[in-house]
Structure formats: C-alpha cells, structure tokens
Amino acid sequence: MARLPGSTSPRVEETTARTPLSVLRTETVLSRFPIHNLGKHGRVNIHIVQTNAQGEVDLRWAVSYNDLYGPPGPLAYKLDTIVVNQILDTLPRPLPRVIKIGSQRQTCRLLDLEVSGRQQAYVKSAFHQNASAYIVAKLSYKGRDGTARRLEAGFTRYSVIFTGELLPDGTTADAIYLVLSDPYHDILNHAPVRPLDYAYLKALTPTAQRFYEILSYRMFAALKYRHPHATLRYADYCLLSTQHRSTDAVQVQKQMYKVHRPHLHSGYLVKVQYEAITDADGQPDWLLHYTPGEKARAEYAAFMHQPGAAAAAALAPLADTAQEDLAGTVTRATSGAIPPPPLAASIPPRVALAGG
C-alpha cells in the first residue's frame, strides 16, 4: 500500500524484543472474528459457522455492511485497533456507555496520519464504516470470573457522534464520541483480555497486524502451557483475516512469507513449520507451527505482571488441542460503495528471512 504523506509510523525493525513494551489489553471474544476488509479488491461478505458432532450450530458469525459507506477497510481497522481499543483499555470496568475519543485532528495524530482536511474526511468515513457494520453472532465464552456466558444477537458495536452533534443526554458534543450498544458493552465488561504490544501494532501493516492478533490467542496459551510452538490452521487464518485461501503449497508459502516476515524480523517468531493436512471437505490445508521468539516471551512476561493477569491466564485454553474446522465464506463482489482510502504502510523494505 502507498505510504501517506506525513505518516510517521515506527518501522518494524525498531520494534523488537529489546524495545520497551506498551501492553494493550484487548478483549478475547469479538476480536477473534473478522469485521474489516483487509483484502485489496471488492466488497467483503463474511459468514462463519461451526457445528458440533451432532450437527448443531455452536458458533455463527456473519457481517454485513452499509451500502453508502461500504465495508470497513484498513484505515477503519487501524482506527478500531489502535485508537478505540487503546482508549477502552485505559478505562475502568464497568465501562461508561458513552466514550470520548477526541477530535478528528487528534485521531489523525494517533494514526500517524497527516492532519489535513482530506485525511480527516477519510477518518470520518472510517468511523461510519465501523459504526454501520452489522453483526449477527451466536457464541459462548467464559467471562473474566470464569462463568459461562452467551451472546446471540444481531447488533452494531457502537454509534458515532461527531463534534457539534447531540449526545444522548442532550448536550452538544465537543469531540467525537462512541455510544456503545448493549451487546458490545456487555462483552467489553465481562470478556477476558490478552496482551498485545501497542507500539508493535502501530508498526505493522493491517495484514501483518491481523495475523499478530489471530496468533496471539494460540501464542498466549502455548507459552502458558510451555508448549514448544503455537499452531494455527491455514484455512482458519484466511477465514479470520479475510484473506484469499490457496490450495497450492507454493502459493501458500509465498503468501504467508509476506505475513511472517515482520514477525520473524522482530523476534516475535523464530521458526515457522508447515504440516500438510486436508480439511473436512478433502481440500489441501496446512497446520502452521510457530516457535515463539524472545519478543513473544517478553510480551507474555510483561502481561503476567499486570493486574488481573492470573485470572486471564486461568481462562486460556490448552494450546494446540484439536480444533473443529471453521466452515465459512468470505466472498467479494463489486459494489458502488465509496472506495476505502489508502493507509500508510509501515513495513520496512524487503529483507531476507529464514523460516517464512
């Protein structure tokens, strides 16, 4: 992706295991599933279903988008994960229903974007894309206190109110605010959290960042249970990241090399191994085994010193246990929606790495 003028995102090579960690605690329920379109072409429609041995639906996740603003793209993804999540992490639980984000200029700066009328317009559109993404979900999870909880609803995560518009209490907004919906508010108040390095997130391109978020679930569990590696099914990665799935081994390695490269360079990973398997339909698939590096271990150690870490660790599932296939589709179709704006790319120039 083209780098935006005025972007000052840190380079990945500067965000290594030796860099002081800025731990961001992110909820582990909804963030597992895709909302944003991180691909390069077309409109994304997401539908994921998981069934049990009796053929009953255990999990359902479907996302649809507003025709005017279209699916949230890379900028909307960075807005959610870098700006909104950071603000949510600083607030005590239970969260207030109305969350102050700040001005559009402040938001641009947090995203390392040039502060200009055009960039502020892009940011405003990205807020609308995120706010209008409609989710239909059916899933179960364990809350922070270990109790079983369930979500079965159709909802948007939040509404957005811009400066000068009316807040729920009738006052005039002096900044951008989010009004959390009931399902999203409940999830944020009860979901366990996992550690992510905020500075590292900012340094990654959206695709590499999404991989980091997806793998972090398995990495956290692998380190907790002292497994030699964390394992991720290639088909599941493609589904959860809205990336193209290939059935050709050479193409898979080429695709994943680009995703793995910054994480090998930073020391988050030290080794990647491919194990050929087939999915439930007999199609070629691969188990990707990731050996954690010094950076991954440093993140885990830093998180375990945070308040509430012991409770979160107790809820972490066993690493590398057998996982049911996620069956689903991520389809793309041409639409007349407003095209997503470009986003600054912060990956360094091509480097040679082993193990990708």
Q: Is the pLDDT of residue 348 over 70?
A: no
Coil, strand or helix at 150: strand
Chain position carrying tokens 């907004």? 173
pLDDT exceeds cutoff 70 at 61: yes
Share of the chain above pLDDT 70, in %: 78
Checking if the pLDDT of 352 tops 80, the result is no
pLDDT of residue 179: 98
At 28 the pLDDT is 87
AA letter at 208: A
C-beta of residue 235 within 8 angstroms of C-beta of residue 326: yes
Going from N- to C-terminal start, the domains of the chain cover 24-333
Mean pLDDT along residues 249-276: 97
For residues 294 and 5, the model is more confident at 294
Amino acid 12: pLDDT: 56
Q: Is the pTM of this model over 0.75?
A: yes
Q: How many residues does the chain have?
A: 356
DSSP notation for 241-290: HTPPP---HHHHHHHHHHHHHHHHHHTSEEEEEEEEEE-TTS-EEEEEEE
Asked if 173 and 165 touch (Cβ cutoff 8 Å), the reply is yes
Q: What is the pLDDT of residue 307?
A: 56
Dihedral sign from CA coordinates of 340, 341, 344, 345: positive
The 3-state DSSP class for residue 64 equals strand
What does the pLDDT read at residue 334? Answer: 40
The answer to whether 74 and 1 are in contact (CB under 8 A) is: yes
Among 204, 195, 206, 148, smallest CA distance to 292 is for 195
Is the pLDDT higher at 134 or at 224? 134
